[in-house]
Amino acid sequence: MTALVELSGIGRRFTRKLDVAAKILNLLGGSYREQVVHAVDGVDLSISAGEVLALVGESGCGKSTLGRIVAGILPSSSGTMSFRGRDVAALAGTDRLAWVRSIQMVFQDPMTSLNPRKSVFEAISEAPVYHRIFSRAEAPAKVARLLSNVGLDPQFANRMPHELSGGQRQRVAIAQALAVKPEVLVCDEATSALDVSIQAQILNMFLELKEEFGLTYLFISHNLGAVRHVADRVVIMYLGQVVEVAPADDLFATPHHPYTRALLLEAPRLERRRRFEPIRGEIPSPLDPPSGCYFHPRCPMATDRCRTERPILRETGGDRVAACHYAEMVSPPDALAPSSEAPEPGHMKPGRAPLSAEAPRSE
């Protein structure tokens, strides 16, 4: 597999500047410091052409920030990123534009992902007409085609965003992205604001579109269970850092990081009674991360070594990496769970069969 997108040492800091009051107090002897959040901290990652890479972690761990960096919406503050082997920082003019267009993003909140003042037709046709991918005269036919690709009736072209449901808006947002012929789609919790039944429909649609348009996905979710059916590989993030990367099947069967294991136990699964085992402890503030292993205050396996020595991301066999001193000793998620169930056919292999046969238009 060729790496389509390659990140190396990518970081992103956000600085909260001091306000005037704090500056004045500082003159009088106060000690207010600018606060720096390392939203993303030294991430190495490669996305291969044609794969579905899931990015999972609790809210606030930097998933959206990383997704925006990959999509070229947000500049990184350190590290390098390459697209098709070329450093994107060195791209200019049409090369840069080609890269920006090649990676499209589908956002979480369907209420703000569309311009409220543009009709569906305008939303979808604006960029491709601007880039001369198709002409204004061709636009009606092209838009109708894109709408049917995302499971909407071509009549939707005349609607305004406020006349659409959340699921319909997300479909329009996807059609808008597809219109500029992207290679990579970054889906940032694109279904989590939607009704559960509609989530499954949109997920199915992503898989169908993947085949039809030859897409590569970076699939962001806070719910490990939700990516089970779609992901080829999974990246687990904690406090801005990657803590584990593994092929999906392996990761679900034998996590190599206690945090992954905790996420697996926490993930709500439709097929079994919700047996909630929340990860204990609070998420530490990214402003002031813990010493040693960032996960140690919440880790059931933590030792003195974990409190002082930061584990590095290391190979743990079988195409996998994990950042834990005791990666080899992490037990499978079902070892503790008495009510483990027989593996159901659908979930081990990301089989491309639709999750449900329902027609997607009925929302």
Partner 1 sequence: MTAAPDITRPPRLRRFAADFVRSPIAVVGLVIFVTLCIMAALAPLISPQNPYDMMTLNLMDSRLRPGEVGSAGYVHLLGTDDQGRDIWSAIVYGLRISLGVGLGAGGIAAVIGTSVGIFAAFRGGMVETVLMRLVDFQLSFPAILVALIMLAVLGPGVDKVIFALVIAQWAYFARTARSAALVESRRDYIAGAHSLGLGQWRIIFGHLLPNSVPAVMVIAAIQVANAILLEATLSFLGMGLPVTEPSLGMVISNGFQHILSGRYWMTIYPGIALVLLVLSLNLIGDRLRELLDPRKVL
Ligand X SMILES: Nc1ncnc2c1ncn2[C@@H]1O[C@H](COP(=O)(O)OP(=O)(O)O)[C@@H](O)[C@H]1O
3-class DSSP state for residue 329?
Answer: helix
From Mg ion, partner 1, ligand X, none, which one binds at residue 71 (CB under 5 to 8 Å depending on kind)?
Answer: partner 1
Binding region for ligand X (CB under 6 A) out of 58-66, 95-103, 158-166, 271-279? 58-66
Nearer to ligand X by Cβ, of 39 and 178: the residue is: 39
- For the chain, count helices (H), then strands (E): 12, 12
For 44, 282, 284, the CA distances from 58, given in Å and listed in that order, are: 19, 11, 11
Backbone angles phi, psi at 220, to 5 degrees: -95, 135
From partner 1, ligand X, ligand SF4, none, which one binds at residue 326 (CB under 5 to 8 Å depending on kind)?
Answer: ligand SF4
Contact string (CB under 5 A) for Mg ion, positions 50-89, x = contact = --------------x-------------------------
Using CB under 8 A as the binding rule, whether residue 175 contacts partner 1 is answered as no
For 60, 64, 291, 304, 310, the CA distances from 284, given in Å and listed in that order, are: 10, 18, 11, 18, 16
Binding region for ligand SF4 (CB under 6 A) out of 108-116, 210-218, 294-302, 333-341? 294-302
Strands (E), the chain: 3-16, 35-48, 52-56, 78-83, 86-87, 103-106, 184-188, 216-221, 233-238, 241-247, 314-315, 321-322
Annotate 213-252 with DSSP letters as a single string. HT-EEEEEES-HHHHTTT-SEEEEEETTEEEEEEEHHHHH
Using CB under 6 A as the binding rule, whether residue 301 contacts ligand SF4 is answered as yes
Smallest separation (angstroms) from partner 1 to the CB of 123: 9
Using CB under 6 A as the binding rule, whether residue 324 contacts ligand SF4 is answered as yes
Q: How far, in Å, CA of 230 to CA of 216, rounded?
A: 12
The residues, ordered by sequence, that sit 6+ positions from 89 with a Cβ below 8 Å of its Cβ are 80, 81
Binding region for partner 1 (CB under 8 A) out of 21-29, 137-145, 165-173, 320-328? 165-173
Contact string (CB under 6 A) for ligand SF4, positions 255-274, x = contact = --xx----------------
Using CB under 6 A as the binding rule, whether residue 306 contacts ligand SF4 is answered as yes
Binding region for partner 1 (CB under 8 A) out of 38-46, 158-166, 225-233, 314-322? 158-166
Q: Which of 169, 171, 233, 325 binds ligand SF4 (CB under 6 A)?
A: 325
3-class DSSP state for residue 41?
Answer: strand
From Mg ion, ligand SF4, ligand X, none, which one binds at residue 320 (CB under 5 to 8 Å depending on kind)?
Answer: none
Sheet holding 321-322, edge to edge: 103-106, 184-188, 216-221, 52-56, 233-238, 241-247, 321-322, 314-315
For 251, 257, 258, 344, the CA distances from 263, given in Å and listed in that order, are: 11, 10, 9, 20
Binding region for ligand SF4 (CB under 6 A) out of 68-76, 131-139, 268-276, 299-307? 299-307
Smallest separation (angstroms) from Mg ion to the CB of 266: 17
Residue ranges binding Mg ion (CB under 5 A): 64
Residue ranges binding ligand SF4 (CB under 6 A): 257-258, 293, 295-296, 299, 301-302, 306, 311, 324-326
Residue ranges binding partner 1 (CB under 8 A): 68, 71-73, 97, 100-101, 103-105, 107-117, 126-127, 130-131, 160, 162-168, 173, 176-177, 180, 193-195, 198, 363
